Structure 1
Amino acid sequence: MKVIYQVGRLDNPAQATKEFYIKNFHGEKVDESGKAELSSIVLRDFLRKRNYEAKTVIVYPVSIVFNSKLPEYIQPEELKNELVDIFKDPSNYLKNPHEFIERIELERNRDEKLIVHSLGEYLGISLDASYDDIVLEILFDMIERYLKGELEELYLDISSGHNIYISAILEAARHFAVFSHLVNWIDDTKSPKIYITFSDPIIGSSAKSFEIHIQQQRFTAFFSSPIKSKEAADYNFSFLREIYPDPNNNSKGSEAVKLKQQAREKRKKLKEKIEMFCLLFSAIKNNVPLYLYSQHYHSADEIKEEIFKLIDHAKARLCSDYQKSPNLNKRAYIDAVLSLGFYIGIVNVLEKYNVTMFCHDTGIDIETVKNSFSEIYLIFRLHTNIVMLGNEVSNTQEKLKQIGDISTWTGLYRIIDPDKSAGEIDPRNFFAHSGFERNATEVRTDDDRVLVRYSLNVNFNDINCWLKRRLE
């Protein structure tokens, strides 16, 4: 589905309806024109004529109806009278603007609408919203559509609307682009292409028709964690309280306890996934592949469901009052959503190469680890890790060749230095040797295969702490 976002106007259709035309579509010369109140409608109709699935999402700031000229041309009379009443007392409208805007017979050729908060004063009515909340409202809409399979290409028509809302759409699209790239490490072509579209200037122009221009935007994502070591290791993901805060309403007694427990449970489930993302990311970044075969990570569907829950909770807070917005912590939401999207991308890669928990008694072939992660590191563009892992595996295999067959599990420390006894796992050596630290790793041979595993006395809580410290 090709989805086109544009800020609505609800102008007088007698003046607002214009003729738009397209003569260049992605380098192809075309000849398409049409009349509409919004240029996005003409673009949508053009795409549909080419047998593409396409829809418009018209973004309406809640202040859109606070226009003194609007009663002059909206129909029927009953709606005019209702609008005049809203001018006098907007409280009910601001609790649920969707129903009233839906009944306005303007820009009816749209497919869907998205109502966002406004900031400023209109007809003496003060609206106190945060720009960041407007960005999040649009971003959440994009992410939901994408995860539901309803967005394959994104068009941002910036021909209309106040700079605040155009800026919010563009910023939301930038965050969305990063999110979709983080999800699609295996096949980046699955990330939706994003285009900015705009018409020739209309205000002050004597032209009778206006060209629609289409420009592709390009974004990229890097293998870098949205969450840094201080947040993970020192603050224990405390930013999640910004997403699921403890209730501060007037509830008392058992009701207050219940609401607080619900908030804690939501934070706990979100934290489980955010923390596992951080551990997997750090293990890949810091080149400790055997650790990844020891983790029970979430499925992509479980992570998607967590994103939907996060968005639903945020939307409930945002939609509770359009007079003012809740002033959400945009950084907290962006970090959480990008981390969860990144988690999906990592899980998809690990599953493709069958990086899952193995039978501890059997172990795993060290050559399989090397070959799988050489390709995984190539996907994540971690080329240095390929060399370091290859060297470490080769060194281990060479030492075992000198000794011969080892039929039972044996600590790697005995292979490296038979005269020394087992010691404590050294964090520095753990990372210097791609996770195959001598006191943590056990080996055995099976014909010409070298099998490895972590010893039973390895404290994964310690390793988890080291990995969090090395987030970057």
Structure 2
Amino acid sequence: MRGSTGQESVALIYQIVGNLNYERVQYVVENKTRKVAKFSSLALARHYINEGAEARVEFLIPLSIREPPVDEKGNLHLQSFTQKIMEELETDGEEDVKIGVSPIPAIGNYRLGGKYYQFEATPQSIAATVFFHMLEDVNLIEDDQKKVKLILDVSTGHNAYIPPLFDAARAITVLDKILGGLKNYKLTQVKYAVAEPVSRDIKKDSYQIFLIDYNVKAFMSFPYNHTELDKAANIPAYIKLEPQEKKRVADLFGDREELKKLLRQALLAFNAVKYNAPLAILNKELIELDPKKATEVMRSLASLFKEILKPTISEGRVKVTEIDFRSLANLFISLTLYIFIARKVTTLNIPIHEKGVDIEKLLVFEDIYRLIDMQVNSLILESEILKIKGERPSDIKRNFFAHAGLSKDTIKEVEENGKKYVKYNQGKVNEIRAWLSQPYTEKTNNRPKTSRKIS
């Protein structure tokens, strides 16, 4: 089951399932919710429903759990696999919980249905498969109001599948934080859940499920420099394939130059924000801002890689193409950074006249700088605007940062033997310490008085 639930808030719970015959026990979630179930994720779903959210459980099922079904041509039939698992699942009467099954690549050798099967995949391919499931389930790249509590239930399943699940969730969380300006965008909560082990020999009245925050840090850093853009736009480089297959993949994706151009615009836009050149972002000859185009490219990439990750079967070998997930995640991070900047600049609605841009209107870029913890850029920008207007900046803290910590009123200069030596005035040290502790505050920001409303 894929796509938006249409609700404002949904608890999206992923559970890796190792078999379908877990013992039915009573689970307790945060000393509140009690639920008898075979799967701990169903107890979690009931907990979040009681908390007022809609709940959805997505079971991540390795292909090795059942004999792989094939169609009349001998191809692996994923739809039949999913349908069979859905029929076998016991959901313990949770009719108001949306249930889905997502097949994931398997690793190892198994005897299934009287035959031996060899499952070939890598942790990175598993992570990529789960990542694209999550990207669609969270509806991340679409600009809507959906809010999601993301829960990773790792109470069951083979250890080989747990790290890829966390890798996928980490990538999704980073993209979410970028779109939210280093804050949550659609993911209001990310946790992982672990239940007490259930022993068939030693019975308990109930089993605790522990919910733990999964904290992921995101930084505003572009993954590539200008010399790496050509390689980043080479889609076949992310995939381990024979040369003839790589050409087919390149043809499937289409124009590589289009992706390279988009990445180049993303790098320019990012550097214009990072290095405080707001006027450059508004110059269409320098930087093209097209968030819709970037969103379309991300959709195309997701569709292409989901197709590439479809398993194949031949003579008992079930194989999933090897993907370089870390590099692929960097590609999506780059496009997401571009989408974030393009959307934010568009919402600033700065008028561009034939004679240029009203210089004071550039101050609204503070809204972007604040979002991404680059408020010092605002101090420098304001200082430069005052100079252009012929006014002398009067805020000494702003001057300090605008002059790389070398403002005249904070340093003492000594020249000796043709060399210049500088040190801070002793009387300024405590003040400088306070500035470094809190570089930017509204109270000390002596901004020129101008309307923040753009018309």
TM over 0.5: yes
Distance 2:387 2:328 in 1: 44
Structure 1 residue 344: Cα displacement: 1.9
Question: Aligned in 2, Cα 1:205/1:342: closer, same or farther, shift over 3 Å?
Answer: farther
Q: Which amino acid counterpart does residue 378 of structure 2 have in structure 1?
A: I
Distance 1:274 1:23 in 2: 45
Other-structure match for 1:116 = 104
Other-structure match for 1:362 = 355
Question: Aligned in 2, Cα 1:350/1:154: closer, same or farther, shift over 3 Å?
Answer: same
Other-structure match for 2:263 = 274
Structure 1 residue 239: Cα displacement: 4.2
Select which of 149, 156, 163 maps to 2:159: 163
Answer whether contact 1:283 1:291 (CA < 8 A) is retained. Answer: yes
Matched, 1:98 2:79: yes
Distance 2:249 2:167 in 1: 34
Structure 1 residue 165: Cα displacement: 1.0
Other-structure match for 1:142 = 134
Aligned pairs, number: 363
Distance 2:73 2:189 in 1: 40
Structure 1 residue 137: Cα displacement: 0.6
Other-structure match for 1:79 = none
Q: Which moved more, 1:105-114 or 1:296-305?
A: 296-305
Question: Aligned in 2, Cα 1:92/1:116: closer, same or farther, shift over 3 Å?
Answer: farther
CA-to-aligned-CA distance 1:319-350 (integer Å, 9 cap, x gap):
15261121112233111111122222212221
Distance 2:212 2:49 in 1: 19
Answer whether contact 1:226 1:339 (CA < 8 A) is retained. Answer: yes
CA-to-aligned-CA distance 1:197-224 (integer Å, 9 cap, x gap):
1111113643232111112222231111
Give ranges in structure 1 of 5+ residues lacking alignment: 25-29, 67-82, 401-448, 450-472
Select which of 296, 299, 321 maps to 2:312: 321
Distance 1:48 1:151 in 2: 15
Q: Which amino acid counterpart does residue 121 of structure 1 have in structure 2?
A: N
Structure 1 residues 398-437: aligned runs within 5 Å = 398=390
Answer whether contact 2:61 2:102 (CA < 8 A) is retained. Answer: yes
Structure 1 residue 33: Cα displacement: 1.6
Other-structure match for 1:174 = 170
Give the alignment's TM-score, normalised by structure 2. Answer: 0.71
Structure 1 residue 245: Cα displacement: 10
Other-structure match for 2:204 = 207
Other-structure match for 1:348 = 343
Select which of 17, 25, 36 maps to 2:24: 17
Other-structure match for 1:107 = 89
Question: Aligned in 2, Cα 1:307/1:192: closer, same or farther, shift over 3 Å?
Answer: farther
Q: Which amino acid counterpart does residue 11 of structure 2 have in structure 1?
A: K
Q: Which amino acid counterpart does residue 304 of structure 1 have in structure 2?
A: T
Other-structure match for 1:4 = 13
Select which of 271, 274, 288 maps to 1:285: 274
User: Secondary structure at 1:121's aligned position in 2?
Assistant: strand
User: Secondary structure at 1:213's aligned position in 2?
Assistant: strand
Distance 1:56 1:244 in 2: 30
Q: Which moved more, 1:101-110 or 1:130-139?
A: 101-110
User: Secondary structure at 2:312's aligned position in 1?
Assistant: coil
Other-structure match for 2:333 = 338
The structure carrying a bigger helix percent of its residues is: 1
Structure 1 residue 122: Cα displacement: 1.2
Q: Which amino acid counterpart does residue 333 of structure 1 have in structure 2?
A: L
User: Secondary structure at 1:398's aligned position in 2?
Assistant: coil
User: Secondary structure at 2:88's aligned position in 1?
Assistant: coil
Aligned-residue sequence identity (percent) comes to 22
Answer whether contact 1:131 1:168 (CA < 8 A) is retained. Answer: yes
Question: Aligned in 2, Cα 1:22/1:134: closer, same or farther, shift over 3 Å?
Answer: same
Matched, 1:48 2:29: no
Question: Aligned in 2, Cα 1:298/1:397: closer, same or farther, shift over 3 Å?
Answer: closer
Question: Aligned in 2, Cα 1:179/1:2: closer, same or farther, shift over 3 Å?
Answer: same
Q: Which has the higher contact order (CA 8 A, sep 6+)?
A: 1
Question: Aligned in 2, Cα 1:384/1:230: closer, same or farther, shift over 3 Å?
Answer: farther
Other-structure match for 2:218 = 221
Give ranges in structure 2 of 5+ residues lacking alignment: 1-9, 92-97, 393-449, 451-455
Question: Aligned in 2, Cα 1:43/1:191: closer, same or farther, shift over 3 Å?
Answer: closer
Q: Which amino acid counterpart does residue 216 of structure 1 have in structure 2?
A: D
Distance 1:273 1:332 in 2: 17
Distance 1:64 1:300 in 2: 41
Question: Aligned in 2, Cα 1:226/1:355: closer, same or farther, shift over 3 Å?
Answer: farther
